[in-house]
Structure 1
Amino acid sequence: MRVCIDGQSLLTKRTGIGNYTYNLIDKISLNNHPYDVSVFANSMRGNLVQEFQNTTIDFKLTRFPYKIYKKCVYDYNINIGLFAGSFDLFHSTNFIAPKIGRNKKLVITVHDLAFKYFPEMIEKETLNLINEYLPRSLERANKVIAVSENTKKDLIINYSIDPNKIVVTPLACNREQYQRVSNEEKIAVVKTKYNILNDYFIYIGTLEPRKNIPNLIKAFNKVANTYENISLVLVGQKGWGYEEISKLINEFNLEDRIIFTGYVPDEEVPALLSGSISFVYPSFYEGFGLPVLEAFSCGIPVITSNNSSLPEVAGELGVYVDPYNVDDLANKLNKMLEEKHNLDSKKYIERAKQFSWESLAEKTSDVYMKLLYK
């Protein structure tokens, strides 16, 4: 028996879905199982990531122009087996699935339904593709994997899926990368690089409307009026809607108190997190909320929203806010400043350890086994 995993997200710099796919393949390749594993993708330019520890994985890369490949697979409904080779089960790791042929098993992973609630945030072509093909992919799938109970709930509400068809496999963070930095000199070097002179709250992620940065700035402004030596550090690329953020900063005269770092190399992020008062993540919606785990893994508290999947991730340790309530967020920032010296980093690190890629791979492999050998 052979399982073919969609590796398209491995071809570019790995972000959320790419990290999920990489860690799934990497950990499954280290387990003992009776099925073979192949990884398939199509790209004119990219190469499949091959730094997996198990070299028995069969990597299959075809090189067609994407528009031609897309027309073949989705518009003309050509069997993906003509590109990917033979398999008994196909796992689409990114929402939608191609035609796989008769007597083949299909598993798809759905990471979130942000496109339902924030369609303006998705490129029109991608949005149209998902809206057209996701319903039929869900219908054809033998099993649907959701990365959180909230995503499972959203799937049931929006697509009326049988709950028994959905398996939840929570994500994890790379704990080898996200570790608490106790060396004050290392933290000071990174702070100096980004001109961080004060104690600070930190946000990490794309600066886009769904992440609720304008309300964070409004709340911080209330705190800044009381505490003169506090900054807000915003780590991430400027996304759609950044104009509102810039306007608010100018309106509140916070140019010297809010620091934009832009892109920060992965190796510097743990030091920035470890040196902060708290990670603040008042997002309107998250399929899983991985940055919360990354902050916990560095031993710092998290202020986050009381919605979507975020309470699943932060658990009892999260400091929760109504993301629409600026006063609530400001009060929680103030409370964190008052209690910062009494916080125990170990409990946050232990919380992060409860989520692992090994567990995700084991649960996913169990899905494969039940479909292939039942």
Structure 2
Amino acid sequence: MHIGIDVHMCRLTQTGLYSYIWNVLQGLQNLEHPHRITLFLYGQPGMEEPESLRRMIDTFSKAEVQYVWDDLPLKSFSSRYGSSASQAPRWVKQVDRKVLFPMWKKMQMPDSRLTLYASRLARRLYQASTSLEIDVFHHPAGLVFPVSDKANVMTLSDLIPRLFPYYCPGSDEWFKESFDKADQMDIILTYSEHTKQDVAKTLEIDEERIRVIPLAAHHQYRPLDNQEQVQAVLMKHGLGERPYIIYVGSVEARKNVSRLVEAYHLLRQEEPSLEHQLVLVGTKLWLHESIFEVIRNLDLESHVKWLGYVPFEDLPALLNGAELFAFPSLYEGFGLPPLEAMSCGTPVICSRASSLPEVVGDAGLMFDPYRVKDIAEAMHRTLTDSQLRLSLREKGLKRSHMFSWDKTARATLAAYEEAWTRFQSRERQGQTRRDSKPERPKIYKHAHGWVVEQLIRQSYNGTDK
């Protein structure tokens, strides 16, 4: 069986989706199986890729890489002068920069392209799939590539764009086609039973085609005995002088960080002797402005510290150094940060919303995320009761061992094999999917725009010498 996996989104993020694809690939590489794996990237062969994607590709030596590009290649006049564009005469570079590159970029704009090219990506993918004999195509992040005419597997991490569009404006347009075509998948993967039920109910998908495959914490998340190492990371981020409560995740409205800040303020009022800071780790996303407005209005600027994006390798030390991990999210497809905290032995208090009880179980103190007082009480109980903290630490470590990427990879491989079996059954019954005029997915516009900008940037850099 030949498996194709779309890894385009790994260019754009190093958060949960990147971790999911990376760890599944790592698990597949470690398993003994007869299957061949090809990673699909939309773009022009030879283009420069982000360091994170290059690292991923280099790590998985058993996987092949297939580029799919449905437009004219960007080839400068300068490239004809030796192996480096920098060797070209200055006037040639100027022609490239002032005429060729702007003209090529303009030709890529959707409104300026001929109808003839409307389905080239779909046809090119089918041609590549046919020549490579792709049996199962995995869409882990929406339909960047069209639905294959053989077996298809799609991962739906959550239905946030459909269920909570006001928390992520515009994202439903991105994923509408993926949601609408979910019924064309042979197998759909979700991270939790809660998301499975959302998919079955909201998208009207038969549950027998949905497989729940939980995620796991990276092996770097563990208790750290080297306190000097922990302190070095804390000092790097301006921490260490005061004990702290930590939140890890994007800073956005859906994560309910505003109520966490309000609960922290209430905690300080009710227990003035507590010296704890509240530390927020994560990038700003949709509707984050109101969170920082709450911090200002409550006069907490010196007590709430936002670290922004933190390097992946620093996160275990930050979690180990915290007295408490708080996660107040209103909706999660899984909820990896609480699992990472439990893996470090950090006591966890957590929202009881959506899938989070499946992850945390009885290893964390759960609260109603809509009640500020409930959140404050959970913080107060944990910070003032050393026996409770010890109990949560022990339970968290034990529960974290229930999840592993090896299990995730094995279950994912089983889903690929099941999807292929389903396709073969349909083929025997004459029900195979044969679309002579496949349409290019609408999310393609975003993927195409990213590639165009990357190629232009790469070409300008090549002639800027």
Same fold, judged at TM 0.5 (above): yes
**Pairwise CA distance, 1:284:** 0.6
Is 1:306 aligned with 2:356?
A: no
**Pairwise CA distance, 1:171:** 0.6
SS of structure 2 residue aligned to 1:241: coil
Match for residue 125 of structure 2?
A: 80
**Pairwise CA distance, 1:180:** 1.6
Alignment counterpart, residue 353 of structure 1, candidates 391, 398, 401: 401
Match for residue 205 of structure 2?
A: 161
C-alpha distance in 1, partners of 2:374/2:316?
28
SS of structure 2 residue aligned to 1:279: strand
C-alpha distance in 2, partners of 1:360/1:129?
27
Against the structure 1 CA distance between its residues 75 and 293, is the aligned structure 2 distance closer, same or farther, given a 3 Å change threshold?
farther
- Are the equivalent residues in 2 in contact too, given 1:93–1:110 (CA < 8 A)? yes
Question: Mapping of 1:111-190 within 5 angstroms?
Answer: 111-122=157-168, 124=170, 126-136=171-181, 138-175=182-219, 177-190=220-233
- Farther off after superposition, 229-238 or 126-135: 126-135
Against the structure 1 CA distance between its residues 224 and 90, is the aligned structure 2 distance closer, same or farther, given a 3 Å change threshold?
same
C-alpha distance in 1, partners of 2:338/2:109?
37
Q: Deviations over 1:258-293 (max 9, x none)?
A: 111122222221111111111101001000000011
- Farther off after superposition, 72-81 or 209-218: 72-81
Against the structure 1 CA distance between its residues 98 and 181, is the aligned structure 2 distance closer, same or farther, given a 3 Å change threshold?
same
**Pairwise CA distance, 1:58:** 1.6
**Pairwise CA distance, 1:83:** 4.4
Is 1:319 aligned with 2:326?
A: no
Q: Deviations over 1:62-85 (max 9, x none)?
A: 35579779x968798536223454
C-alpha distance in 2, partners of 1:99/1:242?
34
Alignment counterpart, residue 296 of structure 1, candidates 342, 349, 359: 342
Alignment counterpart, residue 59 of structure 1, candidates 60, 65, 73: 65
Counting helix residues as a fraction of each chain, which structure ranks higher? 2
Question: Mapping of 1:10-21 within 5 angstroms?
Answer: 10-21=10-21
- Are the equivalent residues in 1 in contact too, given 2:330–2:369 (CA < 8 A)? yes
**Pairwise CA distance, 1:347:** 3.1
What TM-score do the two structures reach when normalised by structure 2? 0.73
**Pairwise CA distance, 1:246:** 2.1
Identity of aligned pairs, percent? 31
Alignment counterpart, residue 57 of structure 2, candidates 22, 37, 50: 50
**Pairwise CA distance, 1:360:** 0.9
What TM-score do the two structures reach when normalised by structure 1? 0.90
Letter in 2 for 1:314: V
- Are the equivalent residues in 2 in contact too, given 1:97–1:108 (CA < 8 A)? no
C-alpha distance in 2, partners of 1:143/1:74?
25
- Are the equivalent residues in 1 in contact too, given 2:137–2:153 (CA < 8 A)? yes
**Pairwise CA distance, 1:371:** 3.3
Alignment counterpart, residue 299 of structure 2, candidates 247, 250, 253: 253
Letter in 1 for 2:318: L
SS of structure 2 residue aligned to 1:234: strand
Residue ranges of structure 2 left out of the alignment (5+ in a row): 72-107, 423-465
Paired residues, what number? 368
C-alpha distance in 2, partners of 1:74/1:275?
53
Match for residue 192 of structure 1?
A: 235
**Pairwise CA distance, 1:235:** 1.1
- Are the equivalent residues in 2 in contact too, given 1:319–1:332 (CA < 8 A)? yes
**Pairwise CA distance, 1:191:** 2.7
Match for residue 28 of structure 1?
A: 28
C-alpha distance in 2, partners of 1:331/1:37?
50
**Pairwise CA distance, 1:254:** 1.2
Letter in 1 for 2:177: E
C-alpha distance in 2, partners of 1:302/1:101?
42
SS of structure 2 residue aligned to 1:164: helix
Match for residue 243 of structure 1?
A: 289
Query: Who wins on radius of gyration, i.e. which is larger?
Result: 2
C-alpha distance in 1, partners of 2:208/2:245?
41
Match for residue 370 of structure 1?
A: 418
**Pairwise CA distance, 1:200:** 1.1
C-alpha distance in 2, partners of 1:73/1:336?
58
Letter in 2 for 1:80: L
- Are the equivalent residues in 2 in contact too, given 1:2–1:36 (CA < 8 A)? yes
- Are the equivalent residues in 1 in contact too, given 2:237–2:307 (CA < 8 A)? yes
Question: Mapping of 1:213-232 within 5 angstroms?
Answer: 213-225=257-269, 226-228=271-273, 229-232=275-278
C-alpha distance in 2, partners of 1:73/1:338?
63
